[in-house]
Amino acid sequence: MNNVRLVLIGLLIPSLLMIPYSIISFYTDFANKNPEPAQVTVSFQGKVYNAIEGKRAFEQYQCMGCHSIVGNGAYFGPDLTNVYKRIKGNDAALAAYLLSGVPAKGMPPMREREMSEEDAYRTVAFLKYAQMLDTNGWPNNGSWDRDGNIDGVPAKQISPSGIWQIILGIIFINFLIFIVIMVYESEKEEEHD
Ligand code: HEC
């Protein structure tokens, strides 16, 4: 077997490997899974408010002037990505907090900025959505231990289907190596003839 052929086979193996791996990449858990904002809702007095309306309210009352979401925004107040979780999903408590604020600590009472109760619940819907974003564990609000629980959320594990992908990948690579050896051996035999 000449060198050019060897090089070509060497190039062929990684390019063939790319095919199953690019297909697998569409099916793995590593893709971010974010909720549909229109489907993230809170209800107040029989009315339902979703995270899209909530984002508008969040912008209208300029929460980002002091806060951040996934690290973007201002750093006067705390990051709000996980605040809904911190407050244990208590919509009424969070809405009441927004309306009355903590003036002594710099969180303005939104009531004074003409925020209605409806808008408070809309904002809560947005914060509920923010907390559902797949941010790969950020902000961790505590431990950097990726194997442990980050903020009560278990670190991502390889799913059973992921294990099968790895096994199939190994079988596939062995199969390719087998073919290369077969080709190599048969070429050698031809040279002897
Ligand atoms: C003028 C700056 C400012 C604005 C505007 C502001 N906040 Fe705050 N906010 C703060 C500060 C400062 C704190 C921290 C208060 C404390 O330490 O108790 C805070 C605290 C909070 C908390 C509690 C956070 C926690 O981790 O306990 C929430 C929730 C919150 N703000 C939501 C909002 C929302 C929603 C808006 C927009 C409607 C908003 N804030 C607008 C300054 C602001």
Q: What is the pTM of this model?
A: 0.69
Nearest-atom index, ligand 1, CA of 83? 26
Q: For 6-42, how does the pLDDT look when each residue is reduced to its tens digit (9 = 90+)?
A: 778 888 888 888 888 888 777 666 556 788 999 999 9
By most ligand atoms within 8 Å of CB, the mutation choice from 58, 67, 151 for ligand 1 is: 67
CATH of domain 37-154: 1.10.760.10
Ligand 1: list residues with CB < 6 Å. Answer: 61-63, 65-67, 76-78, 80, 83, 86, 97-98, 102, 105-108, 110, 123
Q: What are the residue ranges spanned by the domains of the chain?
A: 3-30+157-192, 37-154
HEC string for 51-114: HHHHHHHHHHCCHHHCCEECCEECCCCCECCCHHHHCCCCHHHHHHHHHHCEHHHCECCHHHHC
Distance 185 CA to ligand 1 centre (A): 72
Q: For 44-86, how does the pLDDT look when each residue is reduced to its tens digit (9 = 90+)?
A: 999 999 999 999 999 999 999 999 998 889 989 988 998 998 8
CA-to-CA distance for 178 and 37, rounded, in angstroms?
50
